[in-house]
Amino acid sequence: MSGIEQVREVGPAQAGAAESVAMRPAARPGAGGVQARARAALQDEFLRGAVRFTTDRLRGRKQAAAEELGRWEEWRERGRQIRAHTVEHLDYYLRQFVDNLRAAGAKVYFAVDAHEAAETVAGIVREKQGRLVVKSKSMVSEEIHLNHRLAEDGVEVVETDLGEYIIQLVHEAPSHIIIPAIHKTRGQIRDLFAAAGGEDLSTETRDLAAFARRTLREKFLAADVGLTGCNFGIAETGSIVLFTNEGNGRMVSTLPRTHIVTMGMERIIPAWADLEVMANLLPRSATGQKLTAYMTVITGPRRQGEIDGPDELHVVILDNGRSAQLGDPAFQPVLHCIRCGACLNVCPVYRHIGGHAYGSVYPGPIGAVLSPLLRDGEQYADLPYASSLCGACFEACPVKIPLHDMLVHLRQRNVARGWVKPAERAAFGAFRAVFAHLGRYRLAMRAARILQRPLVRRGRMDARVGPLRGWTQSRSFPALARQPFRERFPALVAELGPAGAAGMESAKARPIGEAHQQAAMRGGQPNGVSDPAGPAGGEHRG
């Protein structure tokens, strides 16, 4: 999505009254818990409306683009196969990628963690005596808090993606992987630009985009160092591939004399033939486009006789917890992610609370899985519970990452590690003790029917105090039936007569296998996958 379109979409019509709302400071990553941040976000009607408005449009565009391409499920399966094969053989393809990078003249660095990566980049900038760094979009730079580290050395860092530039001015973190300023109105953006440039501006998209263009152009021309992320690294040639809509990635990677790339170690595909599949999946899943406005391929620094490009190309490859997922059947597929943001657009939790409530660099379902894995500790242990486990993220993912299964595994891991509140542990212990014995269960249900009477209103339980308030504050809790189904069942059978009873017995004799249940949920076959040749034609090599 272009920067101009981002500005247009952050001001839905119903949010006119929010134009005067003061700038909201973003939740500091890790500050408080996800429940506290979510409660605050749920009180922000404008935020919820803006997120819902934009994610609805992105979902609609993606659906239309997928239908236009045709055979979408085959493309998804092909994408899954490519990513699974690459990650399964990451040692081979990473070595090939690095060898070809160096053969093309690039300098390559490996960073074990975020601190080492940030220090490596800071060292390169210091060596080149850089005072101004221009950046295109890079999630890894957010992950390692690079802007903050460079600022400590007195280096000016300017985000050149329009959405990133907007939130940089207000010192906030991105709230969406693709549209960082999804939560801002045009009125707020106008105020930010006016304060930064000292001039009066209207809220017209054209005027706002023109101001950003004038301001950023000066930065492009004056920058000492350009810094980009990497959408895909092609192992067979050592090429860096960037997908952008505003042209800033091309400016950042060609005008400054030094170009630094930050990338996760998993961002590799084996060959150019595989880029065809990814170039069809990524733009359609992210913004509903057939192709992004700019696809830039960088293979080494500028060569003799070439008129543009940097004198030096430095590539920093980050681990930061990624290698710990290799070989783990439960979590290795998280490394297949291509950072399209499609899972955010369909997630009912994200659509209600936005990105800042997650308190991490990566929001939404992918963030609820990735953040606890990259930072293996209690800091993000509550994120896996920010999910309804509906499976919409799996259905939306262009490379079929089973995020909902991973969220369950993370919850199980929390329990195994003892990262559970004592009250929650006691509650589930009581649940197990009651539901494991029929007599206790019946007694508990009788008691519950009596105790609920003062709280029941029109068939719903109004329990805004007590142990159920966390549920009933935002949704209705159905009252327990006066008579349980097992007591009503004999009368129901008698009413149906012999034929109806025989039919019910026949249905009981036909259990649905677990594989068929899972297949029905995911829209696939119980024990097979689609044709491995896929829509690109021919089976994937290796």
Task: Quote the pLDDT of residue 12.
Answer: 33
pLDDT level of residue 515 (50, 70, 90 thresholds):
very low
Which residues fall within 8 angstroms of residue 49, CB to CB, at 6 or more apart?
A: 12, 14, 15
Nearest Cα residue to 248 out of 142, 132, 160? 160
CB burial of residue 494 (10 Å; 0-12, 13-18, 19+)? exposed
Beta-strand (E) ranges in 193-311?
225-228, 232-234, 239-244, 258-264, 268-269, 294-298
> Which token pair is 185?
């109105």
> Which token pair is 61?
């565009």
H helices, E strands: number in the chain: 23, 13
Range from 169-173, 236-240, 376-380, 396-400 carrying the lowest mean pLDDT: 376-380
Checking if the pLDDT of 531 tops 50, the result is: no
pLDDT level of residue 3 (50, 70, 90 thresholds):
very low
Q: What are phi and psi of 539, to 5 degrees?
A: -80, 145
Q: What are phi and psi of 260, to 5 degrees?
A: -115, 130
- The helix/strand/coil state of 247 is coil
Average pLDDT over residues 16-22: 32
Checking if the pLDDT of 14 tops 60, the result is: no
Helix axes 45-69, 34-42, angle to 10 degrees: 100
Q: Which residue has the tokens 């992320």?
A: 229
Nearest Cα residue to 245 out of 505, 3, 525? 3
- In the chain the domains, ranked by start, together with CATH numbers, are 3-323 (3.40.50.10420)
Checking if the pLDDT of 541 tops 60, the result is: no
Average pLDDT over residues 481-490: 86
Task: Quote the pLDDT of residue 293.
Answer: 94
- Whole-number Å distance between alpha carbons of 350 and 329: 26
Strand partners, 263: 317
* 117-146 as b/e: b if 16+ CB within 10 A: bbebbbebbeebebebbbbbbbbbbbbbbb
- pLDDT, one tens digit per residue, over 38-47 is 989 999 999 9
The two beta strands, 232-234 and 239-244, are antiparallel
CB burial of residue 285 (10 Å; 0-12, 13-18, 19+)? buried
Q: What is the CA radius of gyration of the chain?
A: 26
Checking if the pLDDT of 467 tops 80, the result is: no
Mean pLDDT of the chain: 87
DSSP labels for 10-65?
Answer: TS-GGGGGGGGSPPPPPPPTTSS-HHHHHHHHHT-HHHHHHHHHHHHHHHHHHHHH
- Whole-number Å distance between alpha carbons of 244 and 168: 19
Neighbours of 197 (CB within 10 A): 13
- Whole-number Å distance between alpha carbons of 256 and 496: 80
CB 58 within 8 A of CB 343: no
Checking if the pLDDT of 261 tops 50, the result is: yes
- pLDDT, one tens digit per residue, over 320-377 is 999 999 999 999 999 999 999 999 999 999 999 999 999 999 999 999 999 999 988 7
DSSP labels for 282-323?
Answer: HHHHHHS-SS-SEEEEE-SSPPTT-SSS-SEEEEEEE-TTSG
**What percentage of the chain's residues is helix, strand, coil (to nearest 5)?**
55, 10, 35
The two beta strands, 312-318 and 107-111, are parallel
CB 228 within 8 A of CB 249: yes
pLDDT level of residue 539 (50, 70, 90 thresholds):
very low
- Whole-number Å distance between alpha carbons of 299 and 278: 19
Nearest Cα residue to 240 out of 280, 300, 290? 300
DSSP state of 421: -
Task: Quote the pLDDT of residue 498.
Answer: 73
State the first-to-last Cα distance of the chain, in angstroms, to the nearest integer.
34
Q: From the centroid of its chain, how far is CA 88?
A: 22
- Whole-number Å distance between alpha carbons of 299 and 308: 13
